[in-house]
Structure 1
Amino acid sequence: MSFIISRIVNPSSAKWLYRSLSTTQCTRKMELGNERWHEPSSVPGTSKTYMWPSYNERVHLPEEGLIRPAYVTHMRSMIKHSPKRMWYYASFVRGLTVDEALKQLSFIDRKGAHIIREVIEEAVELAVAEHDVEYRTNLWIAESLSDVCDRIKGYRRHARMRFGIVEYKYVNYYVRLEEGRPPKHYYSVKEAKTPEEQLNEWLNEHRRKEIPRI
């Protein structure tokens, strides 16, 4: 039992566990932080390793009174696409259900939208096959991110023996699906508040003010 706990407890908070281990068990404390869910994983299409797929291997401590919904993380690397344009498609599907996101992306006839649709479908299959999600329609997009993966510079020949620099940009796309229904307002800024809530927020904001000392 001590060995199982030592593999799931955070290394920073597991010092109390080391004192209770026997001499033979103390050798296992070196394994803390070296589990497979702390190691970067390789992704098809590139030689780089990423931490995003490793979240699928993490083990969470049970908390009393808290039901943690199932989630799955998935990504695609080295996508030949503009980073600025991919950001629009990634932020477009945040907070939507999987069915609604796939339906909305099917109306956008762009390369980035097609790629994100494929990645979401792969994540749904991964959730059903490996994470025991009962209903594939009971998933929503909790996180949808993109960043720059690589920039490869090239040259373009112009007239009169001149050359111009060309940048070939590649991006990564990350998605995290979570089981359950999405929140009513994904962004708290857009949440509609009643007059009473606005008044209480205004009062609390002014009560937190401090008069600077001279």
Structure 2
Amino acid sequence: MTMYKIFEVKKFQFLCSCKLPKLSHITYPSINWVTVSGGRLPTNAIAAGVAPNGELLYVGRREYSGDVVLGYIVPSEKCLHVNYFGQHCHNSDYEALTIEDQNGFEWGVYSNGEVPPHAVYGNKDHDGLYVGRTVTGSDISTATTWNGVSINLPHGRVSNTQLIGYINCSHECMYVPWGSEEIIYQSYEVIVLKNETKELKRSLF
């Protein structure tokens, strides 16, 4: 955008032009953790995974002994599944992740604790825990437990399954609750907010 102004010096007039920089304002979709119970799901809850039986799984979390633990909500079971120090917990009181604009986020593939800017935090202190899931279309049957033991999940039970977990940047991996274990993936998908850029009008004079 070009602006013009006439300057007058004694009996002379000068026509000056200048190029204005484009200003913009970047906004991101609103995210919220909504407290729910009894299997209810709030509006705009994020369906991020698929159970072995084809049921959609939703992102959830709950506080245990001062720690916020991420897991997945199974609507048919009316509970949240998490692992806390190796113990699989089911609970009917939890928080569900919601995003105002369901087109305002995307999933990106990362590994070894890496996450992009504007990845969604999983805890309240923003200290390096992010919402993640296993890579779309990947073979999830091979994983490692927290103490380094390799495990094999039966292929017949996990076909087309996508599991939700949390990425721990300092541990350089993603943890997923499964059965009585908390299993580890080095590669994962992380949920990222898309930005929307709006131009702002500005007057020079």
Pairwise TM-score range, normalised by the shorter structure: under 0.3
Q: TM-score, with normalisation over the residues of structure 1?
A: 0.22
User: Higher helix share goes to which structure?
Assistant: 1
**Structure 2 length-normalised TM:** 0.22
Greater strand content: 2
Q: Using CA pairs below 8 Å that are at least 6 residues apart, which structure has the higher relative contact order?
A: 2
